[in-house]
Amino acid sequence: MVVKVSRYCSTIIGRRYSSALPKCDFVPNKYYGPSFQETERIKSVNIPPVMFNLYKKPLVIHQGHMQWLFDHQGRRYLDLFGGIVTVSVGHCHPKVSAALHKQIDTLWHTTNIYRHPRIYEYVEKLTAKFPGDLKVVYLVNSGTEANDLAILLAKAYTGNHDVISLQSSYHGYSSVMMGLTAQQAYRAPIPVPAGIHHAMLPDPYRGIWGGCRDSLSQVPNSCSCIGDCDTSDKYIHQLKELLENSVPAGKVAALFAESIQGVNGTVQFPKGYIRKAKELIGKYGGLFVADEVQTGFGRMGDAFWGFENHGIIPDIVTLAKGIGNGFPLAAVVTTKEIASAHTKASYFNTFGGNPMAAAVGKAVLEVIEEENLQQNCKETGKYFIEKLMALQKIHHVIGDVRGKGLMLSLDLVEPGTKDPLNKPQFANILEMIKDSGALIGTGGRWGNILRIKPPMCINKEDVDFAISVLDQAFNTHSKKTI
């Protein structure tokens, strides 16, 4: 059964898009789980109240197949968020599922006190994707755990204790990561570890100096610098001021930065900023940690890792989410020299790199290669962002279109301003998109960003459907607000 949508068609710059769901021959299994009402009861009694509902009318998701999700009533939805940028090669991809089933029937768990072959096969294949001396891998279970370990490694290697991240960044949710994360929405009112600082966010759209970025879509009236953006030096100066005022002289351990900010709504930096920031942090004795939790594994299209688009080789790289296509798996990749500093104490991780996770991770890498998904991200992503830019020309609620590959976002605003769209109207748009058969993410400092990070297997027909759904939602929004 498909979602019941009208045959409404929209025209975006001369092309017509049907809002009918693209064809899919997959038939989901019949649902036998708790009813919607029963899930409501269980949630009210047994689920922590901090776990909020994204939609006014929540979904009960029953099954997934590649870029599609099915609810408990058999309705089909195009997944444009990939389980928060986690489903990389497709829901229940047959090769990945087969690798997991084979491993489940062979060996589940031993921990790494024994040498099980899957971890060795996997880390060799994973490190082959990295440049330079990034050849040592810690396998862990989540992005939070990976970033926490990266802090430990940076402090152990440098002997320093102060760590810097960018404003509005998200690096995980734990008592330590809550300090590194610089978004108020994820900061509980409790003390966080000392020695963590937040540098000014170099944001071309809302930043005080603007800037141009590595994207087909630029901020209206932005600069168009050849090579590095001129504004990058101004933001670097602010980072230097932080280092020389808030950090003990020469005592910084690390600077953490995402290649493109994910939770903050695909914020890209002025061209050249990341390279200059890495150079600067090195002069002050620190390491550069690239958080590739959302940007890695070919999603950017032009390169396998987001940091490659910035022309750098980090000292430490953290990975999660798409690394396991939804299976709990994460990693820290660094050099042998940095990892050697960790031998000052014992280290153990019960589940990190278990046979099942390693088998899944290896299969994910193979699928990305065999199905040429990085190239699909480049081509389909280019097509997608061009259509989003066309939408922006006719819907003034879209303040900014940004991103690269299949990591895109729409910044929704009060028309004629850069003020974030108010929450009730944003929620109405989100609900309309869902009811029309597409599931999209949200984010940003003010919660006004539509985040588009689908499984990397989507195609141009899926994009056309998504554009029709967005166009219809924005049209309806405009009529209601006139």
Q: What is the pLDDT of residue 2?
A: 38
CATH number for the domain spanning 474: value is: 3.90.1150.10
Q: Identify which has the larger pLDDT, 348 or 339.
A: 339
Residue 138 has pLDDT above 60, yes or no: yes
Based on the fold, state whether residues 363 and 470 are members of the same structural domain: no
Residue 41 has pLDDT above 60, yes or no: yes
What average pLDDT does the segment 404-427 reach?
97
Q: Do residues 203 and 216 lie in contact, with contact meaning Cβ atoms separated by under 8 Å?
A: no
Spatial separation of the C-alpha atoms in residues 432 and 427, rounded to whole Å: 9
Q: What is the pLDDT of residue 245?
A: 96
Based on the fold, state whether residues 174 and 53 are members of the same structural domain: no
Final residue in a domain of this structure, among 333, 348, 370: 370
Residue 247 has pLDDT above 90, yes or no: yes
Based on the fold, state whether residues 272 and 381 are members of the same structural domain: no
Whether 87 is covered by a domain: the verdict is no
Average pLDDT, the chain: 95
Based on the fold, state whether residues 390 and 345 are members of the same structural domain: no
Q: What is the pLDDT of residue 16?
A: 57
Whether 88 is covered by a domain: the verdict is no
Least confident of 109-113, 458-462, 464-468: 109-113
Whether 2 is covered by a domain: the verdict is no
Whether 90 is covered by a domain: the verdict is no
Least confident of 68-82, 342-356, 405-419: 342-356
Based on the fold, state whether residues 18 and 117 are members of the same structural domain: no
Q: What is the pLDDT of residue 3?
A: 39
Q: Do residues 41 and 114 lie in contact, with contact meaning Cβ atoms separated by under 8 Å?
A: no
Provide the token pair at 100. Answer: 């997991």
Whether 340 is covered by a domain: the verdict is yes
Based on the fold, state whether residues 58 and 73 are members of the same structural domain: yes
Three-state DSSP state, 192: coil
Closest C-alpha among 378, 387, 376 to residue 405: 378
Spatial separation of the C-alpha atoms in residues 171 and 386, rounded to whole Å: 30
Closest C-alpha among 166, 345, 343, 191 to residue 254: 166
Final residue in a domain of this structure, among 370, 396, 419: 370
Final residue in a domain of this structure, among 347, 370, 393: 370
Whether 89 is covered by a domain: the verdict is no
Residue 4 has pLDDT above 50, yes or no: no
Residue 462 has pLDDT above 90, yes or no: yes
Residue 446 has pLDDT above 50, yes or no: yes
Confidence grade of residue 12 (pLDDT, cut at 50, 70, 90) = low
Q: Residues 300-336: pLDDT tens digits?
A: 999 999 999 999 999 999 999 999 999 999 999 999 9
Based on the fold, state whether residues 22 and 107 are members of the same structural domain: no
Confidence grade of residue 36 (pLDDT, cut at 50, 70, 90) = very high
Question: Helix, strand, coil: what percent of the chain each, to 5?
Answer: 35, 15, 45
What average pLDDT does the segment 419-440 reach?
98
Q: Do residues 473 and 6 lie in contact, with contact meaning Cβ atoms separated by under 8 Å?
A: no
Based on the fold, state whether residues 148 and 234 are members of the same structural domain: yes
Confidence grade of residue 482 (pLDDT, cut at 50, 70, 90) = low
Report in angstroms the alpha-carbon separations of 353 from 42, 344, 399. 33, 22, 43
Spatial separation of the C-alpha atoms in residues 465 and 230, rounded to whole Å: 38
Q: Which amino acid is at 3?
A: V
Closest C-alpha among 183, 199, 207, 197 to residue 270: 207
Q: What is the pLDDT of residue 18?
A: 65
Based on the fold, state whether residues 364 and 379 are members of the same structural domain: no
Based on the fold, state whether residues 289 and 322 are members of the same structural domain: yes
Q: Say how many domains are in the chain.
A: 2
Based on the fold, state whether residues 271 and 145 are members of the same structural domain: yes
Question: Going edge to edge, which strands form the sheet with 162-166?
Answer: 136-140, 330-334, 316-319, 287-291, 252-258, 162-166, 196-199
Q: Which residue range forms the structural domain that includes residue 129? A: 95-370
Residue 10 has pLDDT above 70, yes or no: no
Bridge partner list, 10:
17
Q: What is the pLDDT of residue 413?
A: 98
252 — phi, psi (to 5°)?
-85, 140
Based on the fold, state whether residues 306 and 335 are members of the same structural domain: yes
Q: Residues 365-400: pLDDT tens digits?
A: 999 999 999 999 999 999 999 999 999 999 999 999
Spatial separation of the C-alpha atoms in residues 122 and 125, rounded to whole Å: 5
Confidence grade of residue 160 (pLDDT, cut at 50, 70, 90) = very high
Q: Do residues 343 and 154 lie in contact, with contact meaning Cβ atoms separated by under 8 Å?
A: no
Spatial separation of the C-alpha atoms in residues 164 and 251, rounded to whole Å: 12
Contacts of 203 (CB under 8 A, 6+ apart): 168, 211, 267, 269
CATH number for the domain spanning 320: value is: 3.40.640.10
Whether 3 is covered by a domain: the verdict is no
Q: Residues 268-288: pLDDT tens digits?
A: 999 999 999 999 999 999 999
Three-state DSSP state, 424: helix
What average pLDDT does the segment 203-208 reach?
97
Whether 4 is covered by a domain: the verdict is no
Q: Residues 223-242: pLDDT tens digits?
A: 999 999 999 999 999 999 99
User: Model pTM greater than 0.85?
Assistant: yes
